[in-house]
Amino acid sequence: MAITQSAAPPQVTIWETTNAIVASRALHVVAELGVADHVGQQSTPVATIAVGCGVDPRSLDRVLRLLSSIGIFARRRGGYAHTDASLLLRSDAPGSMRAFARMMNLRLMNETFTELMHSVRSGEPAVNLVEPRGFWAYLTDHPDQARVFGEAMEARAAAYIAEVLAAYDFRRFTTIADIGGGLGHLLRALLTAAPGATGILFDLPEVVAATDVAVERLTTVAGDFFRDPLPRADLYIVMEVLHDWDDQDCLRILSAIRRGAAPGATVAVIENIVPETGDDPRVNALDVLMLAITGGRERTAAELADLFGSSGFRLQAVIPTAGPMKVVEATAV
């Protein structure tokens, strides 16, 4: 028996899903052009926006008309105004998501998803057909696109930091190591919330070199968690790292943490967790993204528990946040 997931007629569900790529592509183009930066507080004529972006006004109007029909921009007579959603496309907006929309328009992303069938047939990342050395090597060779990717990941993390801080008490720990912590946005926020703690940011040398270390109680350690020893800490944070890797590489990462950790130390994995019952379309979409791009996956709490058990940790708790992220806590045994 078919299960109805939506109140919409089934034909509409298929039609809308099939054509979702059109709105998505329109969003990518508008983000790339910086259209939102040319829309003022009041309605702005489309001709004025087009001049600012250097594009054809009639074509831009058609694209913006589509986006306004789904709540991104508001169509006014002769022009467009901002909605809460379109404001997030401004470069100067708090929590701006412009970089994230641009990231999904990178050439590697576009070409990889035309090869999704390869992942479904083989179980291998579709990205291998576009860049045989993989996603991370591609970014290394394309620094401009790597910058967009980094900005997108920074914006994504920033959107969830407050929810994580509200859900988990970091004040219990004296030394917090952020493993694969990027430029340290999460760790800086944690140190503010936990004034008695010191922080260690561990990431690749090129990432650490770009990090502002002029922060009280924060030090950096450059290295590769697949090869180099990890620092000693009371708490190890691993935020949206494990989902980039397959199970074997996740075991390597967790085992490296366990070698650096004393018995009783805590690891907090902060990721989207696949629900044991029900569905979360945000998690499912990210899971397919990982399938195609990195070969990683989103996992259930039980699957993470198995990885913990195989690497010297014991699952303690799964702590929800106000958003899609959960904090999965384990202790070194």
Residue 178 has pLDDT above 50, yes or no: yes
In the prediction, which pLDDT does 1 show? 39
Active site residue 28: no
For residue 209, pLDDT beyond 90? no
Query: What are the angstrom distances between the C-alpha of 332 and each of 254, 257, 306, 319?
Result: 10, 9, 14, 18
User: Could you tell me if 52 and 38 are in contact, meaning their C-beta atoms sit under 8 angstroms apart?
Assistant: yes
Average pLDDT score over residue span 31-35: 97
CB 180 within 8 A of CB 256: no
Pick the CATH number of 160-332 from 3.20.190.10, 3.40.50.150, 3.40.50.1820, 3.30.460.80: 3.40.50.150
Contact 170, 162 (CB under 8 A): no
Q: And the tokens for 289?
A: 């993204």
Give whole-number Cα distances, 115 to 16, 137, 244, 245, in Å: 22, 18, 19, 19
Phi, psi of 302 (to 5 degrees): -65, -40
Residue 125 has pLDDT above 80, yes or no: yes
Share of the chain above pLDDT 90, in %: 75
Name the pLDDT band for 156 (thresholds 50, 70, 90). Answer: confident
67-116 per-position pLDDT tens digit: 999 999 999 988 999 999 999 999 999 889 999 999 988 889 999 999 99
Domain boundaries, the chain: 10-93, 160-332
Asked if the domains at 10-93 and 160-332 fall in one CATH topology, the answer is no
What are the E-state strand segments in the chain? 44-45, 74-76, 79-81, 175-179, 198-203, 218-222, 235-239, 266-272, 313-320, 325-332
Question: What Å distances lie between residue 47 and 41, 51, 72, CA to CA?
Answer: 16, 6, 18
301: Cβ contacts below 8 Å, ≥ 6 apart: 273, 276, 315, 318, 326, 328
CATH class of 10-93: mainly alpha
Per DSSP bridges, beta strands 74-76 and 79-81 are antiparallel
Q: What is the pTM of this model?
A: 0.87
Residue 213: per-residue pLDDT:
65
